[in-house]
Amino acid sequence: MPVTAADPSTQTGDTTSQADLQTGGCISPGAGEMVYKVTVANTGTLHVTLDSTADLAVYVRTTCADDTTELGCSDNVIGGQQEVLDVVGVTQGDVVYVFVDGSMSGAVGPFTLKIQSHAPMCGNNVVEMGEDCDPPDGVMCGPNCKFLPEICNDGVDNDNNGLIDCEDPACATDPACPLATVCAAAVPAAASNMGTTIGGTKDFVGSCTGGAASPEKLYSYTPAANGALDLTLQSATDLGLYVRSTCTNTSTEVGCADTASAGQDEKLSVIAQSGVPLTIFVDSFNPSQAGPYTLLTAFTPFTEIEPNGTSAQANAYAAPFVGAVSPALDQDWVAVMVPGPASSLTALVDDTGTGACANGRIDSEVEIFAPDGATSLAFNDDISATNFCSQVTAMGLAAGTYYVRVRASQAASPNSTFAYKLSLTVL
């Protein structure tokens, strides 16, 4: 039976001889627990502290025997240190159940439990009802526990919307943020481009590289056909690159690469649409890493013809076959003639030369189907533990037209998009 506890109150107890009937969401079963029934006195936050030399935990529910009603669970420290749990959003008159339990099997002992609800308070290190943040820090969080407006030159996401300085729409009219002017001045990209990020603008931030204080250089590229744009960035310093379809809009980023160390090449392949301009950003990992670079571009037109999403729409195979799994959940079907009477067909899905299979930017699957377009003969997701592209062979094939389906790995990343090269070998 729960023990009735006042709000506020201090309770002492011992779980040593208690039965193990319930388990909190942050602990393991096997230790007995004590439970307190509390009627909340104040709308706001229920503040609970637990002190014990044993490794105990505390959790709160709205229904005593229903673990799906858990409002919070704390098992963050070892025995001898204080567990603290703040349950935000309680209302005066609510009945809740506070459990003191062992963090694992055999963890039992005496304890002191303090329970107190209070109205929301700015500055108590808890984000409560009506607050954006806590505590006030003068950088992101104002004195009323609300996010501050974006400051366009401090390198901080003041309004906590994921966008920093000039990348934030709030700075669109700020004289310090001439993004449209900078974008218009982007240099058309050639096959080989030499430059330096030293002295570059500090207006843009990629999802994987660069901060608001890191300088960048911009290039423009408009493809004449649908295809894969492969980029290689060479630099002795730690630089990265990213690509957008709209220069001033962070949400249009189509690729970002900053995985290699200084002195190693960064490689990135992005899907490009005919006549749709792209902006390529060469950025520094941080301001101290700014430096000279060489940016290489290579464009491979797609031979894939859409729609080819079913066996009935399959493209006839011809080498080289280059295509794209795009948009998300796209699947590409390719038809190939097999002479028989006991032929083998090998299908290999590879990247376009950027190493994207090995670094995880492509995770494909490939499947070979019989001439009926429905019977699966062979399937592969990953070539190996370090190569996430696909290769599979079907053997003993009679003469006929067989089908190969390429799509994103349904087990690992079904919504991913990527450019790829398909090679079919018939023996």
Structural domains in the chain, CATH included, are: 3-118 (2.60.120.380), 181-301 (2.60.120.380), 311-426 (2.60.120.380)
Q: Prior bond to 8 cis, omega within 30?
A: yes
Tell me if 293 sits within 8 A of 258, measured CB to CB.
Answer: no
Residue 132 token pair: 């954006």
d(CA 45, CA 43): 7
Tell me if 142 sits within 8 A of 131, measured CB to CB.
Answer: no
Tell me if 52 sits within 8 A of 111, measured CB to CB.
Answer: yes
- Is this prediction's pTM over 0.85? no
The reported pLDDT for the residue numbered 156 is: 83
Tell me if 50 sits within 8 A of 44, measured CB to CB.
Answer: no
Burial class (CB in 10 A: 0-12, 13-18, 19+), 197: buried
Per-residue pLDDT of 384-410, as tens digits, reads 999 999 999 999 999 999 999 999 999
**Any idea what DSSP says for residue 205?**
-
The reported pLDDT for the residue numbered 173 is: 81
The reported pLDDT for the residue numbered 393 is: 98
The reported pLDDT for the residue numbered 23 is: 96
Residue 367 token pair: 């499947």
The reported pLDDT for the residue numbered 259 is: 87
pLDDT tens string, the chain, 427 residues long: the values are: 899 999 999 999 999 999 999 999 999 999 999 999 999 999 989 999 999 999 999 999 999 999 999 999 999 999 999 999 999 889 999 999 999 999 999 999 999 999 999 988 898 888 888 889 999 998 899 999 999 998 887 878 888 888 888 888 888 788 878 888 999 999 999 999 999 999 999 889 899 986 677 899 999 999 999 999 999 999 999 999 999 999 999 899 999 999 888 999 999 999 999 999 999 999 987 888 899 999 999 999 999 999 999 999 999 999 999 999 999 999 999 999 999 999 999 999 999 988 889 888 899 999 999 999 999 999 999 999 999 999 999 999 999 999 999 999 999 999 999 999 999 999 9
CA 344 to mean position of chain CA atoms? 40
d(CA 80, CA 120): 29
Q: Which residue, among 10, 39, 220, has the nearest Cα to 114 in the 3D structure?
A: 10
The reported pLDDT for the residue numbered 17 is: 94
| Contact partners, residue 183, CB within 8 Å, separation at least 6 | 218, 247, 248, 279
Question: For strand 364-369 and strand 376-380, is the pairing parallel, antiparallel, or unpaired?
Answer: antiparallel
- Give how far Cα 113 sits from Cα of 93, 101, 214, 266, Å: 21, 12, 49, 55
d(CA 283, CA 235): 11
The reported pLDDT for the residue numbered 1 is: 83
Residue 296 token pair: 């290489």
Phi, psi of 96 (to 5 degrees): -130, 165
Phi, psi of 403 (to 5 degrees): -125, 140
Per-residue pLDDT of 127-139, as tens digits, reads 888 889 999 998 8
The reported pLDDT for the residue numbered 210 is: 66
Query: What type of residue sits at position 75?
Result: D
